[in-house]
Amino acid sequence: MVTSSSGQWWLCILVFLQILLKTEGDLVNITYVNKAVAKGAVCLDGSPPAYHFDKGFGQGKKNWLLNLEGGAWCNNVTDCIARKSNILGWGSSKLMWTQLNFTGILSNKSYFNPDFYNWNKVKIRYCDGASFTADMEAVDPDTNLYFRGARIFGVVMEELLAKGMKHAKNALLSGCSSGGLAVMFNCDRFRALLPKKTKVKCFSDAGFFLNAKDISGQPRIQEYFNQVVMTHELEKNLPPSCTSKMKAGLCFFPQNVAQNIQTPLFILNPAYDSWQVSSFLVIR
């Protein structure tokens, strides 16, 4: 009997925990930046960029947390064309889910997210294939690919500034994976867009990609990043402090750009980043 009643007790705790977990999510609708199309700030397929905005409240009303979505890159024209039909919308806002579940750092519950729950929270969707860095004017009529990630960043910032971000007390630019890399390339630009009195910081989560050879001795990620840089013509958009010293392909690596970022930058990276290991170091 004792075991059975203590069993029920644990069941109660489990159900309670489950209810707590179930309520973490906060479904937030998509906002398409339709006016971006006229400015050519578009996804790979020419569709408008998009973000999800959850308004801040209480003490957090004047604080802004931006999160750049991740999702690898496309490294050649064939791959970028295929990305236009990526089911997560990584190449087209036509395929993006119209609602996102805001959890973790984006959760609106103080229990799960004590530091940021009441801030204005924005998830910026990734559909350019090159970490929000490209701004290539030409569009090849054969491929119909737009390489405009840097322009997307600019237009989305313009809209958020108008929505109240220009009065921000605190502003944090965050992102994960290729979004974490995007944070490094856009951190000082973000700082420059905000008033001097705004406290601005950046947070790159799992965006520190190592320039290491794979187990067969091939510089696989170096070749891959070089192809991303060539395909999207990134040389002119990567930091001159780096491109003046080495070839542009190497300036897509955080180790060659992070030290020149002027704005406070926090880097979080697991020592054994499973994505890097399986994608670039030990390929099955």
Ligand X SMILES: *[C@@H]1O[C@H](CO)[C@@H](O)[C@H](O)[C@H]1NC(C)=O
CB of 260 to ligand X, least distance (A): 29
Residues that bind ligand X (CB under 6 A): 21-22, 24-27, 29, 75-76, 78-79, 101, 103, 108
CB of 75 to ligand X, least distance (A): 5
Residues ≥6 apart with Cβ < 8 Å to 274 = none
CB of 108 to ligand X, least distance (A): 4
CB of 61 to ligand X, least distance (A): 12
- C-alpha atoms less than 13 angstroms from C-alpha of 22 in its C-beta half-sphere: 6
Gap between the Cα atoms of 284 and 278, Å rounded = 7
Q: Which of 168, 172, 170 is nearest to 190 (CA)?
A: 172
Q: Which amino acid is at 133?
A: T
- If the CB atoms of residues 79 and 188 are measured against ligand X, the closer one turns out to be 79
Nearest residue to ligand X by CB is: 25
Q: Which amino acid is at 100?
A: L
**Residue 45 DSSP one-character state:** T
- If the CB atoms of residues 76 and 260 are measured against ligand X, the closer one turns out to be 76
CB of 115 to ligand X, least distance (A): 14
Q: Which of 219, 196, 198 is nearest to 281 (CA)?
A: 219
Q: Which of 145, 155, 153 is nearest to 173 (CA)?
A: 153
